[in-house]
Protein backbone atom coordinates (compact mmCIF):
# COMPACT_ATOMS: atom_id res chain seq x y z
CA UNK A 1 0.00 0.00 0.00
CA UNK A 2 2.81 2.42 0.83
CA UNK A 3 4.37 1.90 -2.60
CA UNK A 4 1.06 2.80 -4.23
CA UNK A 5 0.77 5.99 -2.21
CA UNK A 6 4.29 7.06 -3.11
CA UNK A 7 3.51 6.45 -6.78
CA UNK A 8 0.31 8.52 -6.56
CA UNK A 9 2.27 11.45 -5.14
CA UNK A 10 4.63 11.42 -8.08
CA UNK A 11 2.22 10.64 -10.93
CA UNK A 12 -1.21 12.09 -10.10
CA UNK A 13 -1.49 15.57 -11.59
CA UNK A 14 -4.67 16.70 -9.82
CA UNK A 15 -2.81 18.14 -6.82
CA UNK A 16 0.24 20.29 -6.22
CA UNK A 17 1.71 23.38 -7.89
CA UNK A 18 0.52 23.48 -11.49
CA UNK A 19 3.67 24.72 -13.23
CA UNK A 20 5.86 22.29 -11.32
CA UNK A 21 3.57 19.38 -12.19
CA UNK A 22 3.56 20.21 -15.89
CA UNK A 23 7.31 20.88 -16.09
CA UNK A 24 8.14 17.75 -14.08
CA UNK A 25 6.02 15.69 -16.47
CA UNK A 26 7.05 17.44 -19.70
CA UNK A 27 10.81 17.48 -19.09
CA UNK A 28 11.31 13.69 -19.19
CA UNK A 29 9.14 13.59 -22.33
CA UNK A 30 11.38 16.27 -23.83
CA UNK A 31 14.51 14.28 -23.02
CA UNK A 32 12.91 11.07 -24.26
CA UNK A 33 11.90 12.63 -27.56
CA UNK A 34 15.38 14.14 -27.80
CA UNK A 35 16.99 10.72 -27.60
CA UNK A 36 14.41 9.25 -29.96
CA UNK A 37 15.18 11.98 -32.45
CA UNK A 38 18.88 11.32 -31.96
CA UNK A 39 18.57 7.70 -32.90
CA UNK A 40 16.25 8.52 -35.80
CA UNK A 41 18.84 11.02 -36.99
CA UNK A 42 21.68 8.55 -36.45
CA UNK A 43 20.38 6.47 -39.37
CA UNK A 44 20.67 9.44 -41.72
CA UNK A 45 23.99 10.70 -40.35
CA UNK A 46 25.72 7.34 -40.51
CA UNK A 47 24.16 6.30 -43.82
CA UNK A 48 24.85 9.69 -45.41
CA UNK A 49 28.50 9.69 -44.41
CA UNK A 50 29.26 6.02 -45.10
CA UNK A 51 26.97 5.16 -48.03
CA UNK A 52 26.53 8.46 -49.90
CA UNK A 53 23.73 10.74 -51.11
CA UNK A 54 21.63 8.01 -52.75
CA UNK A 55 21.41 6.06 -49.50
CA UNK A 56 20.78 9.30 -47.57
CA UNK A 57 17.87 10.12 -49.86
CA UNK A 58 16.48 6.60 -49.38
CA UNK A 59 16.54 6.85 -45.58
CA UNK A 60 15.78 10.56 -45.17
CA UNK A 61 12.54 10.44 -47.14
CA UNK A 62 11.20 7.85 -44.70
CA UNK A 63 9.45 10.07 -42.19
CA UNK A 64 6.27 10.93 -44.05
CA UNK A 65 5.67 7.42 -45.37
CA UNK A 66 6.28 5.83 -41.97
CA UNK A 67 3.96 8.32 -40.28
CA UNK A 68 1.33 7.65 -42.93
CA UNK A 69 1.39 3.95 -42.03
CA UNK A 70 1.67 4.18 -38.23
CA UNK A 71 -0.01 7.53 -37.51
CA UNK A 72 -3.52 6.11 -37.41
CA UNK A 73 -2.67 3.50 -34.78
CA UNK A 74 -0.68 6.02 -32.76
CA UNK A 75 -3.75 8.25 -32.74
CA UNK A 76 -5.85 5.43 -31.32
CA UNK A 77 -3.16 4.93 -28.66
CA UNK A 78 -3.46 8.65 -27.79
CA UNK A 79 -7.20 8.17 -27.36
CA UNK A 80 -6.53 5.24 -25.07
CA UNK A 81 -4.23 7.44 -22.99
CA UNK A 82 -7.01 10.00 -22.57
CA UNK A 83 -9.40 7.32 -21.33
CA UNK A 84 -6.87 5.82 -18.92
CA UNK A 85 -5.86 9.24 -17.57
CA UNK A 86 -9.47 10.26 -16.96
CA UNK A 87 -10.28 7.09 -15.01
CA UNK A 88 -6.97 7.35 -13.16
CA UNK A 89 -7.74 10.95 -12.18
CA UNK A 90 -11.20 9.89 -11.00
CA UNK A 91 -9.65 6.93 -9.07
CA UNK A 92 -11.89 4.36 -10.78
CA UNK A 93 -9.45 1.47 -10.52
CA UNK A 94 -11.57 -1.22 -12.18
CA UNK A 95 -11.99 0.95 -15.26
CA UNK A 96 -8.28 1.76 -15.33
CA UNK A 97 -7.52 -1.97 -15.43
CA UNK A 98 -9.99 -2.62 -18.23
CA UNK A 99 -8.70 0.28 -20.30
CA UNK A 100 -5.04 -0.72 -19.87
CA UNK A 101 -5.53 -4.36 -20.91
CA UNK A 102 -7.85 -3.48 -23.80
CA UNK A 103 -5.28 -0.96 -25.06
CA UNK A 104 -2.55 -3.60 -25.10
CA UNK A 105 -4.80 -6.06 -26.93
CA UNK A 106 -5.50 -3.40 -29.53
CA UNK A 107 -1.78 -2.69 -29.92
CA UNK A 108 -0.97 -6.35 -30.61
CA UNK A 109 -3.67 -6.56 -33.29
CA UNK A 110 -2.59 -3.25 -34.83
CA UNK A 111 1.08 -4.25 -34.90
CA UNK A 112 0.34 -7.49 -36.74
CA UNK A 113 -1.91 -5.72 -39.26
CA UNK A 114 0.67 -3.00 -39.89
CA UNK A 115 3.42 -5.59 -40.43
CA UNK A 116 1.43 -7.27 -43.18
CA UNK A 117 0.18 -4.05 -44.82
CA UNK A 118 3.53 -2.22 -44.67
CA UNK A 119 5.50 -5.15 -46.06
CA UNK A 120 3.12 -5.67 -48.98
CA UNK A 121 2.41 -2.04 -49.91
CA UNK A 122 5.83 -0.38 -49.49
CA UNK A 123 7.02 -0.62 -53.10
CA UNK A 124 3.67 0.50 -54.54
CA UNK A 125 3.51 3.56 -52.30
CA UNK A 126 7.10 4.56 -53.11
CA UNK A 127 6.38 4.33 -56.84
CA UNK A 128 3.18 6.31 -56.38
CA UNK A 129 5.17 9.00 -54.53
CA UNK A 130 7.45 9.35 -57.57
CA UNK A 131 10.59 8.28 -55.70
CA UNK A 132 13.58 8.84 -58.05
CA UNK A 133 14.50 5.64 -59.92
CA UNK A 134 18.08 5.62 -58.65
CA UNK A 135 16.84 5.85 -55.04
CA UNK A 136 13.89 3.44 -55.32
CA UNK A 137 15.71 0.08 -54.77
CA UNK A 138 17.35 1.19 -51.51
CA UNK A 139 14.17 2.92 -50.30
CA UNK A 140 12.20 -0.26 -50.87
CA UNK A 141 14.69 -2.35 -48.90
CA UNK A 142 14.75 0.15 -46.01
CA UNK A 143 10.98 0.45 -45.68
CA UNK A 144 10.25 -3.24 -46.10
CA UNK A 145 12.64 -4.22 -43.32
CA UNK A 146 11.39 -1.35 -41.15
CA UNK A 147 7.78 -2.46 -41.43
CA UNK A 148 8.67 -6.06 -40.63
CA UNK A 149 9.30 -4.73 -37.12
CA UNK A 150 6.00 -2.86 -36.88
CA UNK A 151 4.95 -4.72 -33.74
CA UNK A 152 7.96 -3.30 -31.89
CA UNK A 153 7.23 0.39 -32.40
CA UNK A 154 3.44 0.02 -32.10
CA UNK A 155 3.76 -1.75 -28.74
CA UNK A 156 6.42 0.69 -27.56
CA UNK A 157 4.05 3.60 -28.23
CA UNK A 158 1.21 1.72 -26.52
CA UNK A 159 3.26 1.03 -23.39
CA UNK A 160 4.66 4.55 -23.22
CA UNK A 161 1.13 5.94 -23.66
CA UNK A 162 -0.09 3.91 -20.68
CA UNK A 163 2.78 5.05 -18.46
CA UNK A 164 2.41 8.68 -19.47
CA UNK A 165 -1.37 8.63 -18.98
CA UNK A 166 -0.83 7.87 -15.28
CA UNK A 167 1.82 10.58 -15.05
CA UNK A 168 4.97 8.45 -15.35
CA UNK A 169 7.22 10.06 -17.94
CA UNK A 170 10.49 9.20 -16.16
CA UNK A 171 10.73 5.46 -16.84
CA UNK A 172 10.01 5.74 -20.59
CA UNK A 173 12.87 8.25 -20.70
CA UNK A 174 15.31 5.80 -19.14
CA UNK A 175 14.27 3.01 -21.50
CA UNK A 176 14.48 5.29 -24.51
CA UNK A 177 17.99 6.46 -23.64
CA UNK A 178 19.09 2.83 -23.44
CA UNK A 179 17.53 1.90 -26.78
CA UNK A 180 18.94 5.05 -28.44
CA UNK A 181 22.47 4.10 -27.44
CA UNK A 182 21.90 0.54 -28.71
CA UNK A 183 20.56 1.85 -32.02
CA UNK A 184 23.52 4.13 -32.64
CA UNK A 185 26.02 1.39 -31.75
CA UNK A 186 24.27 -1.08 -34.06
CA UNK A 187 24.18 1.51 -36.87
CA UNK A 188 27.92 2.03 -36.54
CA UNK A 189 28.54 -1.71 -36.40
CA UNK A 190 26.27 -2.75 -39.29
CA UNK A 191 26.89 0.20 -41.64
CA UNK A 192 30.20 1.73 -40.56
CA UNK A 193 32.20 -1.38 -39.66
CA UNK A 194 30.59 -4.24 -41.59
CA UNK A 195 29.63 -2.12 -44.60
CA UNK A 196 26.06 -3.38 -44.89
CA UNK A 197 23.49 -1.29 -46.80
CA UNK A 198 20.49 0.79 -45.76
CA UNK A 199 18.53 -2.30 -44.72
CA UNK A 200 20.95 -2.75 -41.83
CA UNK A 201 20.04 0.73 -40.54
CA UNK A 202 16.38 -0.29 -40.47
CA UNK A 203 17.28 -3.53 -38.70
CA UNK A 204 19.21 -1.60 -36.03
CA UNK A 205 16.15 0.56 -35.39
CA UNK A 206 13.88 -2.48 -35.05
CA UNK A 207 16.18 -4.24 -32.58
CA UNK A 208 16.53 -1.17 -30.37
CA UNK A 209 12.77 -0.52 -30.49
CA UNK A 210 12.02 -4.10 -29.39
CA UNK A 211 14.36 -3.69 -26.43
CA UNK A 212 12.66 -0.47 -25.27
CA UNK A 213 9.21 -2.07 -25.67
CA UNK A 214 10.29 -5.07 -23.58
CA UNK A 215 11.63 -2.79 -20.84
CA UNK A 216 8.30 -0.90 -20.74
CA UNK A 217 6.39 -4.17 -20.56
CA UNK A 218 8.59 -5.39 -17.72
CA UNK A 219 7.82 -2.17 -15.82
CA UNK A 220 4.07 -2.56 -16.32
CA UNK A 221 4.01 -6.25 -15.38
CA UNK A 222 6.40 -6.39 -12.43
CA UNK A 223 7.10 -2.90 -11.09
CA UNK A 224 3.86 -0.92 -11.36
CA UNK A 225 1.27 -0.45 -8.59
CA UNK A 226 -1.88 -2.56 -8.63
CA UNK A 227 -3.94 0.26 -10.10
CA UNK A 228 -2.48 -0.12 -13.58
CA UNK A 229 -0.33 -3.26 -13.29
CA UNK A 230 -0.54 -5.49 -16.36
CA UNK A 231 -1.44 -9.16 -15.98
CA UNK A 232 -0.57 -11.00 -19.19
CA UNK A 233 -3.52 -13.38 -18.81
CA UNK A 234 -5.91 -10.43 -18.60
CA UNK A 235 -4.94 -8.96 -21.99
CA UNK A 236 -8.16 -9.10 -23.98
CA UNK A 237 -10.72 -6.84 -25.61
CA UNK A 238 -13.41 -5.39 -23.35
CA UNK A 239 -15.88 -4.24 -26.00
CA UNK A 240 -17.49 -1.31 -24.10
CA UNK A 241 -14.02 -0.05 -23.19
CA UNK A 242 -12.76 -0.59 -26.75
CA UNK A 243 -15.62 1.59 -28.00
CA UNK A 244 -14.56 4.35 -25.61
CA UNK A 245 -10.95 4.10 -26.70
CA UNK A 246 -11.86 4.18 -30.38
CA UNK A 247 -14.31 7.05 -29.86
CA UNK A 248 -11.54 9.10 -28.25
CA UNK A 249 -8.74 7.87 -30.51
CA UNK A 250 -10.36 7.66 -33.93
CA UNK A 251 -10.35 11.44 -34.51
CA UNK A 252 -6.66 11.64 -33.53
CA UNK A 253 -5.83 8.60 -35.67
CA UNK A 254 -7.69 10.02 -38.64
CA UNK A 255 -6.03 13.39 -38.04
CA UNK A 256 -2.56 11.80 -38.06
CA UNK A 257 -3.34 9.92 -41.25
CA UNK A 258 -4.65 12.90 -43.19
CA UNK A 259 -1.73 15.09 -42.12
CA UNK A 260 0.67 12.34 -43.14
CA UNK A 261 -1.15 11.95 -46.45
CA UNK A 262 -0.78 15.68 -47.13
CA UNK A 263 2.91 15.49 -46.25
CA UNK A 264 3.33 12.51 -48.58
CA UNK A 265 1.89 14.72 -51.33
CA UNK A 266 4.50 17.34 -50.42
CA UNK A 267 7.22 14.66 -50.48
CA UNK A 268 6.08 13.40 -53.88
CA UNK A 269 6.44 16.94 -55.22
CA UNK A 270 9.89 17.26 -53.64
CA UNK A 271 10.84 14.00 -55.38
CA UNK A 272 10.20 15.67 -58.73
CA UNK A 273 13.16 17.99 -58.10
CA UNK A 274 15.58 15.05 -57.98
CA UNK A 275 17.62 13.10 -55.46
CA UNK A 276 19.59 16.15 -54.23
CA UNK A 277 16.34 17.83 -53.22
CA UNK A 278 15.19 14.60 -51.54
CA UNK A 279 18.47 14.32 -49.63
CA UNK A 280 18.58 17.99 -48.64
CA UNK A 281 14.95 18.20 -47.52
CA UNK A 282 15.30 14.82 -45.82
CA UNK A 283 18.29 16.08 -43.85
CA UNK A 284 16.30 19.14 -42.81
CA UNK A 285 13.39 16.95 -41.71
CA UNK A 286 15.69 15.14 -39.29
CA UNK A 287 16.92 18.47 -37.93
CA UNK A 288 13.35 19.76 -37.77
CA UNK A 289 12.52 16.89 -35.43
CA UNK A 290 14.65 18.59 -32.78
CA UNK A 291 12.67 21.81 -33.29
CA UNK A 292 9.45 19.93 -32.58
CA UNK A 293 10.67 18.63 -29.20
CA UNK A 294 9.24 21.43 -27.00
CA UNK A 295 6.04 21.30 -29.03
CA UNK A 296 5.56 17.57 -28.59
CA UNK A 297 6.45 17.40 -24.90
CA UNK A 298 4.05 20.18 -23.86
CA UNK A 299 1.17 18.98 -26.04
CA UNK A 300 1.47 15.46 -24.54
CA UNK A 301 1.82 16.87 -21.03
CA UNK A 302 -1.26 19.03 -21.52
CA UNK A 303 -3.33 16.09 -22.77
CA UNK A 304 -2.55 14.09 -19.63
CA UNK A 305 -2.90 17.09 -17.31
CA UNK A 306 -6.27 18.10 -18.74
CA UNK A 307 -7.58 14.50 -18.78
CA UNK A 308 -6.69 13.82 -15.16
CA UNK A 309 -7.99 17.16 -13.87
CA UNK A 310 -11.27 17.03 -15.76
CA UNK A 311 -11.69 13.47 -14.51
CA UNK A 312 -11.24 14.84 -10.98
CA UNK A 313 -13.53 17.83 -11.79
CA UNK A 314 -10.70 20.32 -11.20
CA UNK A 315 -11.92 22.77 -13.85
CA UNK A 316 -10.09 25.96 -12.85
CA UNK A 317 -6.89 23.99 -12.41
CA UNK A 318 -7.30 22.63 -15.94
CA UNK A 319 -7.66 26.16 -17.35
CA UNK A 320 -4.58 27.47 -15.55
CA UNK A 321 -2.51 24.52 -16.65
CA UNK A 322 -3.61 25.00 -20.25
CA UNK A 323 -2.52 28.64 -20.31
CA UNK A 324 0.86 27.87 -18.76
CA UNK A 325 1.60 24.98 -21.13
CA UNK A 326 0.73 27.00 -24.24
CA UNK A 327 2.96 29.92 -23.21
CA UNK A 328 5.96 27.71 -22.44
CA UNK A 329 5.62 25.75 -25.66
CA UNK A 330 5.44 28.70 -28.04
CA UNK A 331 8.38 30.51 -26.37
CA UNK A 332 10.62 27.45 -26.46
CA UNK A 333 9.60 26.50 -30.00
CA UNK A 334 10.41 29.97 -31.32
CA UNK A 335 13.80 30.04 -29.61
CA UNK A 336 14.66 26.72 -31.25
CA UNK A 337 13.38 28.05 -34.58
CA UNK A 338 15.66 31.08 -34.44
CA UNK A 339 18.64 28.87 -33.57
CA UNK A 340 17.97 26.56 -36.52
CA UNK A 341 17.50 29.51 -38.88
CA UNK A 342 20.98 30.78 -38.01
CA UNK A 343 22.86 27.47 -37.97
CA UNK A 344 21.12 25.37 -40.63
CA UNK A 345 23.96 25.26 -43.26
CA UNK A 346 26.34 23.81 -40.67
CA UNK A 347 23.76 21.29 -39.48
CA UNK A 348 22.87 20.04 -42.97
CA UNK A 349 26.56 19.72 -43.80
CA UNK A 350 26.84 17.12 -41.04
CA UNK A 351 24.62 14.82 -43.12
CA UNK A 352 26.17 15.41 -46.51
CA UNK A 353 28.74 17.87 -47.82
CA UNK A 354 27.35 18.13 -51.36
CA UNK A 355 26.66 21.88 -51.93
CA UNK A 356 23.34 21.22 -53.66
CA UNK A 357 22.11 19.10 -50.74
CA UNK A 358 23.08 21.86 -48.30
CA UNK A 359 21.34 24.49 -50.43
CA UNK A 360 18.02 22.61 -50.49
CA UNK A 361 18.04 21.93 -46.74
CA UNK A 362 18.93 25.54 -45.95
CA UNK A 363 16.20 26.92 -48.22
CA UNK A 364 13.52 24.85 -46.51
CA UNK A 365 14.69 25.72 -43.00
CA UNK A 366 14.87 29.43 -43.67
CA UNK A 367 11.33 29.38 -44.99
CA UNK A 368 9.63 27.64 -42.04
CA UNK A 369 11.68 27.82 -38.83
CA UNK A 370 10.63 31.33 -37.75
CA UNK A 371 7.00 30.15 -37.76
CA UNK A 372 7.46 27.36 -35.20
CA UNK A 373 5.45 29.34 -32.61
CA UNK A 374 2.33 28.82 -34.76
CA UNK A 375 2.93 25.09 -34.94
CA UNK A 376 3.41 24.98 -31.17
CA UNK A 377 0.16 26.83 -30.53
CA UNK A 378 -1.85 24.55 -32.82
CA UNK A 379 -0.43 21.37 -31.29
CA UNK A 380 -0.99 22.58 -27.72
CA UNK A 381 -4.63 23.45 -28.36
CA UNK A 382 -5.09 20.10 -30.08
CA UNK A 383 -3.59 18.35 -27.03
CA UNK A 384 -5.84 20.26 -24.66
CA UNK A 385 -8.97 19.45 -26.65
CA UNK A 386 -8.05 15.76 -26.87
CA UNK A 387 -7.63 15.71 -23.10
CA UNK A 388 -11.06 17.34 -22.77
CA UNK A 389 -12.70 14.65 -24.90
CA UNK A 390 -13.10 16.94 -27.91
CA UNK A 391 -10.71 15.22 -30.31
CA UNK A 392 -13.03 15.86 -33.26
CA UNK A 393 -12.29 19.61 -33.15
CA UNK A 394 -8.55 19.35 -33.92
CA UNK A 395 -9.32 16.54 -36.36
CA UNK A 396 -11.65 18.69 -38.50
CA UNK A 397 -9.46 21.78 -38.15
CA UNK A 398 -6.34 19.96 -39.32
CA UNK A 399 -8.26 18.05 -42.00
CA UNK A 400 -9.36 21.38 -43.43
CA UNK A 401 -6.12 23.33 -43.24
CA UNK A 402 -3.27 20.82 -42.98
CA UNK A 403 -4.67 18.53 -45.64
CA UNK A 404 -7.24 20.11 -47.96
CA UNK A 405 -5.83 23.65 -48.01
CA UNK A 406 -2.22 22.40 -48.05
CA UNK A 407 -2.73 20.00 -50.95
CA UNK A 408 -4.82 22.53 -52.89
CA UNK A 409 -2.19 25.22 -52.42
CA UNK A 410 0.60 22.90 -53.55
CA UNK A 411 -1.32 21.71 -56.59
CA UNK A 412 -1.92 25.27 -57.77
CA UNK A 413 1.29 26.98 -56.64
CA UNK A 414 3.76 24.49 -58.08
CA UNK A 415 2.11 24.71 -61.50
CA UNK A 416 2.12 28.49 -61.50
CA UNK A 417 5.64 28.85 -60.08
CA UNK A 418 7.74 25.65 -60.43
CA UNK A 419 10.07 26.61 -57.57
CA UNK A 420 10.60 24.22 -54.65
CA UNK A 421 10.29 27.12 -52.20
CA UNK A 422 6.61 27.33 -53.09
CA UNK A 423 6.26 23.87 -51.53
CA UNK A 424 7.99 25.01 -48.36
CA UNK A 425 5.56 27.90 -47.87
CA UNK A 426 2.68 25.43 -47.61
CA UNK A 427 3.62 24.81 -43.97
CA UNK A 428 3.67 28.37 -42.51
CA UNK A 429 0.49 29.18 -44.45
CA UNK A 430 -1.52 26.27 -43.06
CA UNK A 431 -0.07 26.65 -39.53
CA UNK A 432 -1.29 30.26 -39.53
CA UNK A 433 -4.82 29.36 -40.58
CA UNK A 434 -5.19 26.54 -38.05
CA UNK A 435 -3.83 28.76 -35.25
CA UNK A 436 -6.47 31.42 -35.95
CA UNK A 437 -9.29 28.87 -35.75
CA UNK A 438 -7.87 27.22 -32.62
CA UNK A 439 -7.49 30.60 -30.90
CA UNK A 440 -11.11 31.54 -31.57
CA UNK A 441 -12.35 28.16 -30.33
CA UNK A 442 -10.16 28.21 -27.23
CA UNK A 443 -11.36 31.68 -26.21
CA UNK A 444 -15.06 31.22 -26.94
CA UNK A 445 -15.99 27.54 -26.55
CA UNK A 446 -16.78 25.78 -23.26
CA UNK A 447 -14.18 23.08 -23.71
CA UNK A 448 -13.82 22.54 -19.95
CA UNK A 449 -17.39 21.50 -19.16
CA UNK A 450 -18.24 20.10 -22.56
CA UNK A 451 -17.25 16.52 -21.70
CA UNK A 452 -19.32 16.47 -18.51
CA UNK A 453 -22.39 17.73 -20.35
Residue 2 within a domain: no
| Cα–Cα distance, 60 to 77 (Å, whole number) | 26
Q: What is the mean pLDDT of residues 226-243?
A: 90
Residue 1 within a domain: no
In the predicted model, is pLDDT for residue 2 greater than 80? no
Is the model's pTM score more than 0.75? no
Q: Which of 123-137, 152-166, 225-239 has the lowest average pLDDT? A: 123-137
pLDDT score, position 219:
93
Residue 132 within a domain: yes
| Cα–Cα distance, 398 to 28 (Å, whole number) | 27
Of residues 69 and 401, more confidently modeled:
401
Closest CA to 402 of 261, 208, 231, 281: 261
**What percentage of the chain exceeds 70 in pLDDT?**
90
Average pLDDT, the chain: 84
Q: Which of 46-55, 79-88, 309-318 has the lowest average pLDDT? A: 46-55
Q: Domains in the chain: how many in total? A: 1
Question: In which band, very low, low, confident or very high, does the pLDDT at 146 lie, cut at 50, 70 and 90?
Answer: confident
| Cα–Cα distance, 296 to 333 (Å, whole number) | 10
Where in the sequence is the domain holding 31, given as residue range(s)?
17-444
pLDDT score, position 5:
40
Residues 62/146, Cβ–Cβ less than 8 Å: yes
pLDDT score, position 6:
39
Of residues 184 and 10, more confidently modeled:
184
Residue 7 within a domain: no
Of residues 433 and 60, more confidently modeled:
433
| Cα–Cα distance, 450 to 453 (Å, whole number) | 5
Residues 135/278, Cβ–Cβ less than 8 Å: yes
Q: What is the mean pLDDT of residues 430-453?
A: 80
Question: In which band, very low, low, confident or very high, does the pLDDT at 366 lie, cut at 50, 70 and 90?
Answer: very high
pLDDT score, position 129:
67
DSSP string across 92-133: -HHHHHHHHHHHHHHHHHHHHHHHHHHHHHHHHHHHHTT--T
Residue 252 within a domain: yes
Q: Which of 64-73, 297-306, 308-317, 361-370 has the lowest average pLDDT? A: 64-73
| Cα–Cα distance, 183 to 177 (Å, whole number) | 10
Residue 451 within a domain: no
In the predicted model, is pLDDT for residue 21 greater than 80? yes
Residue 277 within a domain: yes
Residue 449 within a domain: no
Amino acid sequence: MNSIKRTEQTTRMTEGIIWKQIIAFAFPIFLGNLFQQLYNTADSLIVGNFLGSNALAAVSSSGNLIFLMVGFFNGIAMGAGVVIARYYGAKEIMQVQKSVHTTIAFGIAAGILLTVAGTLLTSRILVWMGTPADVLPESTIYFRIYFMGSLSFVMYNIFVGILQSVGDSRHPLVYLIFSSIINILLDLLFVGVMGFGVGAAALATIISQFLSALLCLYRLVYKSPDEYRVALRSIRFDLPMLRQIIANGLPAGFQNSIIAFANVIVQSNINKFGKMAVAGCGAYSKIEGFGFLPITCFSLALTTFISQNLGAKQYERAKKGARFGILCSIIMAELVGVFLYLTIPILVRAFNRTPEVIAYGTAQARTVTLFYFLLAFSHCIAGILRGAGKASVPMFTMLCFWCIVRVTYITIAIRLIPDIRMLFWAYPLTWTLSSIVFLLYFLKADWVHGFEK
